[in-house]
A and B are shown apart, each in its own frame.
Chain A
């Protein structure tokens, strides 16, 4: 039976030089849910996340085998066109990186890159997605001021709006709250919970409580291996693997 999951990973292996960073990973990411990738640092969480939109490409000496299917298309096929794949996913990195331009231009950057020139349409896009990321009220009077002048928490919401503005179906978050204060983290988490109605969300987190608060589905990685995956309730309450249980109880970290 052909599954309709946006992201399907089949026998994925990633090597950094001789270092075997991801080992034979096969998993399907459920649609319109929040999936959390958990595991200790250096276990390959971020690598797995970045493999979904080919952000590993610029890394030196990298070798990737296996498949990542996004909407049924093998994105590592040499014929695959990378920009339209990346467009399907918004990315939040650990620290927000606003582009060196105004708040307005940050949101409009993506649509403009994809040939949207109509000023009225851009205005509407900017307003709509700033509202979606609940940033509009704070910035509507200073859309032309530099994005880096916002607080870090606001910057992260700006990055969320910027990612959504290219019309993705998927949101990827690489420890998206790790640089934020508790209030800002809460804002981002709240946005995620609202957005999962419409988007498939995958976040990497090393904060177990955050995974418990947000996740519907959990992937547990250890040393590059996918040890266990399943609905959050099962993983947190009744893990099948001893290693998962130890991680969740804080015995290994």
Chain B
């Protein structure tokens, strides 16, 4: 056989193998969680807070962590969105395309993206000390907002950057201001990208444990106040895994399964909604 033909076959095989390995790992993870967690998943898991002796294998559930994670990540996502949308619009509609500020902002967000979440936790803790608040839902929201801000902003930015300049000019030519153009044309055109950015950030935020150890704390009661500590799923998983009791370890898998399902449901719903809102997008 010809040398190039052999080369082609070998490299093609390697690429297919890589694809299979990647997909395989995903299914392995999902499989493990489902296999080990499903037997421990029951109604009381998702409808009750931990009762006394829960961590020894007694009655109760992790509703405290489910609600805590949803509140905390939801709040953080809203907060991060309120900052990243203006940043994105400024970079792409207002600022000069090649100005130093634009370069600096993008670079800063890229660096922030790479900072480990435990460092955000430490930073959040420092802020808490400064403002004199204790570990609480609010502190967790602020910390996670910082953590996901670069992810959300840079993902949005990449999409908004792809919008062709003449589309903006078409709006300007009709006498629209930059603000009108940004809100009515740019946001609409970039909506699928914007919602994907929000989703990715939500997923990243709800799965993070390290940033919350100092800032959100943990509690067995349901979240009721911004200023009280709050339980979260990743920490619930961590706590239950550390237990020597088999029953409790199994519940850790069940908690992981719940976390995965939440992320899955949210992304499916969001994708469906985005489709409804974006039928007018210029492709």
Binds B, one of A26-34, A98-106, A120-128, A203-211: A98-106
User: Which residues of B lie under 8 Å from residue A163 when comparing CB positions?
Assistant: 173-174
Q: Which listed residue, B99, B174, B177, B282, touches A98 by the CB 8 Å rule?
A: B282
CB <8 Å contact, B177 and A97: no
A226 proximal to B (CB < 8 A)? no
Knowing A146-B280, A147-B280, the reply to whether A100 touches B185 (Cβ < 8 A) is yes
Instruction: Report if B114 contacts A (CB, 8 A).
Output: no
Contact A91 B173 (CB under 8 A): yes
Interface centre among B175, B180, B188 (most CB of A within 10 A): B175
Whether the pair B97, A60 counts as a contact (CB closer than 8 A) is yes
Taking a contact as CB atoms closer than 8 A, the residue among B164, B166, B174, B188 that contacts A101 in the complex is B188
A21 within 8 A of B: no
Q: Please, which residues of chain B bring their CB within 8 A of the CB of A193?
A: none
Given contacts A83-B175, A87-B174, A162-B174, contact A148 B166 (CB under 8 A): no
Cα A98 to Cα B166 in complex, Å, equals 10
B98 on the A face (CB < 8 A)? yes
Cβ proximity bits B223-242 to A, threshold 8 Å, 1 near / 0 not: 00000000000000000000
Contacting pair B188 A100 (CB below 8 A): yes
Complex alpha-carbon distance, A95 and B280, angstroms = 18
B169 within 8 A of A: yes
Cβ contacts under 8 Å, A99 to chain B: 167, 170-171, 184-185, 188, 282
Taken together as a complex, chains A and B put the C-alpha atoms of A41 and B279 apart, in Å, by 37
Given contacts A55-B169, A86-B172, A99-B167, contact A113 B282 (CB under 8 A): no
B282 near A109 with CB under 8 A, answer no
Q: Count A interface residues, CB 8 Å.
A: 32
A159 to B173 alpha-carbon distance, docked (Å): 11
Cβ < 8 Å to B, chain A residues 65-112: 83-84, 86-87, 89-91, 93-95, 97-102, 105, 109-110
- Residue numbers in B under 8 Å from A109 (CB-CB): 171, 174, 176, 184
B171 cross-chain contacts in A, Cβ below 8 A:
99, 109
Interface residues of A (CB under 8 A from B): 53, 55, 58, 60, 83-84, 86-87, 89-91, 93-95, 97-102, 105, 109-110, 113-114, 146-148, 159, 162-163, 166
21 contacts between A and B (CB under 8 A): A55-B169, A55-B172, A60-B97, A83-B175, A86-B172, A91-B170, A93-B169, A95-B166, A97-B166, A99-B170, A99-B188, A100-B188, A101-B188, A102-B280, A109-B174, A109-B176, A109-B184, A113-B175, A113-B184, A148-B280, A148-B281
